[in-house]
Amino acid sequence: MANSNSPDGGGSGARNTFNDETPSVRHRVALPPKEGLLKEFKSVVQETFFHDAPLRDFKDQTPSKKVLLGIQAVFPIVGWARNYNLRKLRGDVISGLTIASLCIPQDIGYAKLANLDPKYGLYSSFVPPLIYAAMGSSRDIAIGPVAVVSLLLGTLCQAVIDPVDHPAEYLRLAFTATFFAGIFEAGLGFLRLGFLIDFLSHAAVVGFMGGAAITISLQQLKGFLGIKTKKFTKKTDIVSVMRSVFTEAHHGWNWQTIVIGSSFLTFLLVAKFIGKRHRKLFWVPAIAPLISVIVSTFFVFITRADKDGVQIVKHIDQGINPISAHKIYFSGKYLTDGIRIGGIAGMVALTEAVAIARTFAAMKDYQIDGNKEMIALGSMNVVGSLTSCYITTGSFSRSAVNYMAGCQTTVSNIVMSIVVALTLLFITPLFKYTPNAILAAIIISAVLGLIDIDAAVLIWKIDKLDFLACMGAFFGVVFISVEIGLLISVVISFAKILLQVTRPRTTVLGKLPGTNVYRNTLQYPEATKIPGILIIRVDSAIYFSNSNYVRERALRWLREEQEKNKEAGMPKVKFVIIEMSPVTDIDTSGIHSLEELLKSLEKQDIQLILANPGPIVTQKLHASKFADEIKEENIFLCVGDAVAVCAPKLAEQLA
Amino acid sequence: MANSNSPDGGGSGARNTFNDETPSVRHRVALPPKEGLLKEFKSVVQETFFHDAPLRDFKDQTPSKKVLLGIQAVFPIVGWARNYNLRKLRGDVISGLTIASLCIPQDIGYAKLANLDPKYGLYSSFVPPLIYAAMGSSRDIAIGPVAVVSLLLGTLCQAVIDPVDHPAEYLRLAFTATFFAGIFEAGLGFLRLGFLIDFLSHAAVVGFMGGAAITISLQQLKGFLGIKTKKFTKKTDIVSVMRSVFTEAHHGWNWQTIVIGSSFLTFLLVAKFIGKRHRKLFWVPAIAPLISVIVSTFFVFITRADKDGVQIVKHIDQGINPISAHKIYFSGKYLTDGIRIGGIAGMVALTEAVAIARTFAAMKDYQIDGNKEMIALGSMNVVGSLTSCYITTGSFSRSAVNYMAGCQTTVSNIVMSIVVALTLLFITPLFKYTPNAILAAIIISAVLGLIDIDAAVLIWKIDKLDFLACMGAFFGVVFISVEIGLLISVVISFAKILLQVTRPRTTVLGKLPGTNVYRNTLQYPEATKIPGILIIRVDSAIYFSNSNYVRERALRWLREEQEKNKEAGMPKVKFVIIEMSPVTDIDTSGIHSLEELLKSLEKQDIQLILANPGPIVTQKLHASKFADEIKEENIFLCVGDAVAVCAPKLAEQLA
């Protein structure tokens, strides 16, 4: 351990050569206090599952207070309800009404993406938001069906059961998937495995969402162009859809439908543009869909355009959610399908909701507990599946409107939920003449916001590999299918992690002139190498997945350096210093690799030196006896110390 | 960029406060020269696939020399054959004869593990070693069938086809699996994906091998005890096997068999012990198996013990390998099974061979190109599958004997191969009376060496999580099945990588007294924190998989520090310095997290400061405009510089 009292002559002699920068006090590489096995295990478990110290508030409290805190942990509403006041209520009511006006037309449209009757979209905006309001901790998220998850659910379910031929079974499968999506989400949160959703990379999500937006818009073409045939493709890839659209052209697109659809789409896009330009006018795009629905419905009702081939909604059942618990498949051949679909759709729903919750929490600077949030989202889907709802999550567009309309708490979700319930009870018959083309226009204008070109450009600028992941997911969704696109994004995300782990960076360091600081010679061209000494920094823990690479790479750096020195007539390298600061951990394979490196270097008459091993590494170097093999005096506190000892030895050898 | 000419007053004023240790020359954080997209891409590809610079030797050579080098790259034998001499030949002949005497009885036994006739074991020791001798680059590896791969092939194949009821189809499936194992191995090498085998961790392999040794030994109980029934279980787990063994006890174990088996097993183990004690007597355990076979065969022939129920080999066909190319399933229902089994068994075979090649290469200090090695191993299995061989790889026990017997080149494999061929041509009829119990004893004594208790102890000492992986694989194999054990080892290996990536370590740094060096306060208790400044080091690249964790963990360190300060009546933290040295890379999610951290800290009136970002990170901080958000003067070359600037600012604020 670079002991300054070491009996080794070279080391002691060298002490006088330390320059001003590493002054008289020479520190040893400390072996940290040995922790017990239990303590070590506890610390790993804590960092993995409880890094946010969720029980921190419970410390040093009376039992009754602890119970209250426990209830509050599950139902945050208990916590903030006591501080609720009229000012907050005003904000919540305004925002709740705004998102309600936005969600009603969207719900009807999104239900179609899931191959379900429009009423199920409305049902899903009634019960789940109430559950979330009690259990959720995000103040800004707006709960309900969303486009991407609806599409995903629809695609996955129709691959198992045909929704037209077997509507009852299809519906049961959708509820089953919803139930298991909820179980899955709550389970992840309960087991504190929430970090798993971090494995879906931001870049892949951007690509996937963009692709899904294109796919969803393509799906709307049928309604938008008034194509009536039943032979329209069920595939979602762009090639199949466009072929279907154009082979149906001779059957006749319906021009009235196109006129209605286009004019209202234009109106919606203009409203969107206005809202973007003037943040104060955020309510214009928020209520534009409802206005479109009202105006167009009235127009069709007056002109009876439905008799000219303009397709209309026709009928939405009146009344709130019926119980659907008995419809869930808890056995039989569709059970596994339900679990699988629920798992996939639940994961996507979760990713979206947590991303939204985190974004707005950062904007308003409050904390979101990801795991608790998952329990809330899971519970709302489980309860939803028992009350005729399909998978819901946080909607990005509605959450943004909610935020801008001044929501204060989850009460805005309650307000929205009440409005939806009233709609279901009293207003649904009025939707009879609503043209389908309007719903298509509303969906198109909503999902276009998911295509985030700025984010893609930023990803391109920052990381080309990330961009590849982004584009892979995008084109996978657009040209193949939603599942394949999702699969591509997951695979690329994992491949990137694995690449990072197998091929850590190694750098040659040089000394910055006039300091005792050693830096990457590529980044700091003024950093100079010290003749006869090669300093390599390894930028990762050394594990089985990269130990061979690290050893081989170090030997390659050495070979290249020796060749350069030979050409330049410089002295041969006699010391290889491995700067270990970034090496946070090492396993048996890593130790083994170091041993092999030591042997290889010894055969070439080169001394291996370690600088600044961290606490865990130091411990393991000693546990494995590698510290004895390399000898303790060859382990230093920092590169500067190591160089100070090597330089005079080198001078001796040359002399 | 911490510009020393910065107009910012604090920065300029602070320059005078730098102490001796970071002297007058103040360096800026350099933005490395921007690389073109193509160059960056090239460098990633190079490090991932060609980190060993395989084409290095081809540089600056004449075309004819390049052709020669190319041939030599595929067939290393062309390279060293010219320097071959009588002295080397002597070593190779001796070691070749030694491993031949060891492999012949083993081959006959291992073929039974794969549910194949004994002759296929011998066939597999004839052709593949010849191919390897021409193409392989390890000088010490001994090629042939090995116990674990034989067992794995046998277990996987019998799950598809019953080897007793359909021996012809079973044999074809085994050849098909062998063919695809070869294609798979050579393919990995050809595509330079050799690093994939690094994902099987050392710990998992130790556990898997130990478990496989137990399982193989259990399989030998049937032969060892002379159990004749056909109802003996086909499962490999310890519970099923032991139940089978004892339910058959009343049918009678064969005492003659047990006597023969036990006495020779004792003889083999004693020979092994002698070989271990006296390294010079390594040949004792090496030839003990052959002696056992000769003696026991002669004994049975004299006493006709086979008439008393001692089971014997009975018959081995005479003649060398017949062609089997027409037997491989290139279509039909068994094709996919063959590909799957080949893939799994090939991966295990590859792991074993590469580990052996690397171990002995490190001992003799020569280089092994893992990818080229895989091409050689794959080619030998493809050719093997066409000539009635099943999957072969490097045998650890025989390679060790080969090494100790003084092998010089792969010629020892050629010698072994010739001896096996001669055996097949002339001697096989003599094996007729060889008792099966001897083969069982030979296999048991061979595989016991795979149980590496020392390695397991070392793993326990170094890394508890690795030990868990090791035990998981071990018990999975012993109590469930070989495939499940393998699956457990792969899953645990991956889980460990993912854990490493999601939960990087973060450390609070303090200043070592009398120096300007900042180190982990847990490892160096003497390192002192600077009041009002919190220094956190993040020990990993910041990627999507850990960006949220890093941000939340940093905020938790801050919260804990503030609480401590409050209790101790110390000043509040006003500066958070993130030491970025180990942060080798950052992606969009990481940048996003830094932005959120910056915002959170600003709300608490705390300044975020970055110290020593690496070249790639610096580039990305600028590309993403985060450098502007945090302001360039808050990015420093090292922690010392940052503290030197913060300290006077802090004093001003307190005053």
- Residues of chain A with pLDDT > 70, as a percent, come to 92
Chain-chain contact of A25 with B596 (C-beta, under 8 angstroms): no
pLDDT over 70 at A528, yes or no: yes
Predicted confidence band of residue B64 (pLDDT cuts 50, 70, 90): confident
DSSP category for residue B466 = H
Residue A32 Cα, gap to closest chain B Cα (Å): 5
**Tens of pLDDT along A238-280?**
888 888 888 876 666 788 888 888 999 999 999 988 888 888 8
Evaluate if residue B8 carries a pLDDT over 60: no
Q: Which of chain B's residues have a Cβ under 8 Å away from the Cβ of A502?
A: 48, 195, 198-199
Check if CATH label 3.30.479.30 holds for domain A9-31+504-654: no
User: In the structure, how many helices (H) and strands (E) does chain A have?
Assistant: 26, 8
Q: Which of A462, A515, A584 is nearest residue B22 as measured by Cβ atoms?
A: A515
Q: What is the dihedral of CA B556, B561, B564, B565, to 10 degrees?
A: -140
Residues A437 and B6: their CA atoms lie apart, in Å, by 60
Residues B416-429, mean pLDDT to the nearest whole number: 92
Cα–Cα separations (whole angstroms), residue A607 to A516, A604, A629, A631, B49: 22, 9, 12, 11, 29
Q: Where along chain A do the CATH 3.30.750.24 domains lie?
A: 9-31+504-654
Q: Nearest-CA residue of chain A relative to B360?
A: A596
pLDDT digits (tens, 9 = 90+) for B283-333: 888 888 889 989 999 988 888 888 887 888 888 888 889 999 999 999 888
Contact B588 A623 (CB under 8 A): no
Taking an 8 Å cut-off on Cβ atoms, the answer to whether A545 and B41 are in contact is no
Report d(CA B648, CA B644) in Å as an integer. Answer: 7
The whole model's pTM is what?
A: 0.73
CA of B233 vs chain A CAs: smallest distance (Å): 32
Does the structure show a pLDDT above 80 at B526?
yes
Averaged pLDDT for residues A23-27 = 49
pLDDT for B17 equals 33
Residue range A625-635: average pLDDT?
87
What is the predicted pLDDT for the residue at A425? 92
* Cβ-based contacts of B452 with chain A (< 8 Å): none
CB contact under 8 A, B503 and A588: no
Nearest CA of chain B to the CA of A246: how many Å? 40
Predicted local distance difference test score (pLDDT) of residue A5: 37
Give helix then strand counts, H and E, for chain B. 26, 8
Residue B468 CB-half CA count within 13 A: 9
| Closest CB to A587 among B463, B540, B586 | B463
A324-367 pLDDT, tens digit each: 999 999 988 899 999 999 999 998 899 889 888 888 887 777 77
Q: What is the CA radius of gyration of chain A?
A: 32
Which residues of chain A make contact with B585, given a CB cutoff of 8 A?
A: 500, 505
HEC assignment per residue over B564-607: HHHHHCCCCCCEEEEECCCCCCECHHHHHHHHHHHHHHHHCCCE
Q: How far is B202 from chain A (nearest CA, A)?
A: 6
Mutate to test the interface with B, among A24, A543, A559, A583 (most CBs of B within 10 A): A543
Q: Which of B201, B524, B592 sits opposite A544 (nearest CB)?
A: B201
Task: Report residue B5: phi and psi, to 5°.
Answer: -95, 10
CB-hemisphere CA count at 13 Å for B142?
33
Structure tokens at B489: 């080892």
B506-511 and B518-520 strand pairing = antiparallel
Tell if the CB–CB gap between B623 and A462 is shorter than 8 Å: yes
- Cβ–Cβ of B201/A358 closer than 8 Å? no
Q: Is the pLDDT of residue B240 over 90?
A: no
In chain B, pLDDT over 70 holds for what percent of residues? 92
**pLDDT above 90 (res B487):** no
Enumerate the CATH 3.30.750.24 domain ranges in chain B, comma separated.
Answer: 9-31+503-654
C-alpha dihedral (B194, B197, B199, B200), degrees to nearest 10: -170
Residue A257 CA, distance from chain mean position: 39
Taking residues A220-244, report their average pLDDT.
81
Q: Report pLDDT digits (tens) over B213-234.
A: 898 888 888 888 877 766 777 7
Integer Cα distance of B29 and B639 in angstroms: 12
Residue A597 identity (one-letter amino acid):
L
- Closest residue to B596, CB basis, from A362, A458, A586: A362
Pairing status of strand B533-538 against strand A506-511: unpaired
DSSP-based three-state secondary structure for A528: strand
- Report how far residue B320's alpha carbon sits from residue B420's, in angstroms, rounded to the nearest whole number: 9
Q: Where are the beta strands (DSSP E) in B419-550?
A: 506-511, 518-520, 533-538
Among A24, A507, A615, whose Cβ lies nearest the Cβ of B520?
A615
What is the percent of chain A with per-residue pLDDT over 90, rounded to a whole number? 26
pLDDT in the model for residue A22: 42
Residue B13's pLDDT band, with cuts at 50, 70 and 90, is: very low
Burial of B330 (0-12, 13-18, 19+ CB in 10 A): exposed
Segment among A253-257, B32-36, B273-277, B377-381 with least mean pLDDT? B32-36
Question: In this complex, do B23 and A20 lie within 8 Å of one another by their Cβ atoms?
Answer: yes
- What would the two tokens of residue B460 be? 């326990």
Among B497, B538, B550, most A C-beta atoms within 10 A, so best to mutate, is: B497
User: Which ipTM was obtained for this model?
Assistant: 0.74
Q: How far is B97 from chain A (nearest CA, A)?
A: 30
Q: How far is CA B593 from CA A547, A606, B414, B546, B548, in A?
A: 30, 43, 60, 10, 6
* DSSP-assigned letters across all residues of A553-608: HHHHHHHHHHHHHHHHTPPPP-EEEEE-TT---B-HHHHHHHHHHHHHHHHTT-EE
Q: Considering only CB atoms, which chain A residues are within 8 Å of B502?
A: 48, 195, 198-199
**CA distance to partner chain B, nearest, from residue A513 (Å):** 8
Q: What are the tokens at B168?
A: 């012809």
Residue of A nearest to B604 (CA): A365
| pLDDT higher than 80, residue A396 | yes
Of A499, A513, A517, the CB nearest to B637: A517
pLDDT band at A23 (very low <50, low <70, confident <90, very high): very low
Q: Which of A252-261, A430-439, A531-540, B318-327 has the lowest mean pLDDT?
A: A252-261
Among the residue ranges A394-408, B243-257, B453-467, B470-484, the one predicted with the least confidence is B243-257
Q: Mean of the per-residue pLDDT values for chain A? A: 84
Would you place residue A26 in the very low, low, confident or very high pLDDT band (cuts 50, 70, 90)?
Answer: low
Neighbours of A565 (CB within 10 A): 17
pLDDT at A643 over 80: yes
**Which of chain A's residues have a Cβ under 8 Å away from the Cβ of B498?**
199, 497
pLDDT category of residue B32 using cuts at 50, 70 and 90: low
- How close does chain A come to B438, measured CA to CA in Å? 37
Return the higher-pLDDT residue of A369 and A159: A159
Assess whether pLDDT exceeds 50 at residue B5: no
SS3 A23: coil
Q: What is the mean pLDDT of chain B?
A: 84
Confidence of residue B184 (pLDDT cuts 50, 70, 90): very high
Please give the structure tokens belonging to residue A481.
Answer: 């299918």
The 10s digit of each residue's pLDDT in A166-193 is 999 999 999 999 999 999 999 998 888 8
pLDDT category of residue B11 using cuts at 50, 70 and 90: very low
* Nearest C-alpha in B relative to A550: B51
- Name the band, by pLDDT with cuts 50, 70 and 90, for residue A120: very high
Per-residue pLDDT, averaged over A391-412, amounts to: 90
Chain A CB contacts of B586 under 8 Å are 462
Cα-Cα-Cα-Cα torsion B440, B446, B452, B454, nearest 10 degrees, comes to 120
Q: Taking residues A183-211, what's their average pLDDT? A: 84
How many Cα atoms sit within 13 Å of B115 on the Cβ side? 25
What is the CATH architecture of B9-31+503-654? Answer: 2-Layer Sandwich (3.30)
The whole-angstrom distance between B192's CA and the closest CA on chain A is 13
Q: Per the CB < 8 Å rule, is B502 touching A195?
A: yes
Residue A549's pLDDT is: 87
pLDDT in tens, B109-156: 899 889 999 999 999 999 999 999 999 989 999 999 999 899 999 999
pLDDT band of B24, cuts 50, 70, 90: very low
pLDDT 10s digits, B429-465 = 888 888 888 888 988 888 888 888 988 998 888 877 7
Closest residue in B to A640 (Cα–Cα) = B517
Q: What pLDDT sits at residue B393? A: 95
Question: Which range (A238-247, B101-110, B370-379, B599-608) has the least confidence?
Answer: A238-247
Please write the tens of the pLDDT for every residue from B67-116: 888 888 888 888 888 888 999 999 999 999 989 988 998 999 899 889 99
Compute the distance between CA of residue A127 and CA of residue A178 in angstroms, rounded to an integer.
13
CB A579 within 8 A of CB A639: yes
Here the tokens at position B160 are 């598809």
Is there a contact between B553 and A27 if contact means CB atoms under 8 Å apart? Answer: no
B21 pLDDT above the threshold of 50: no
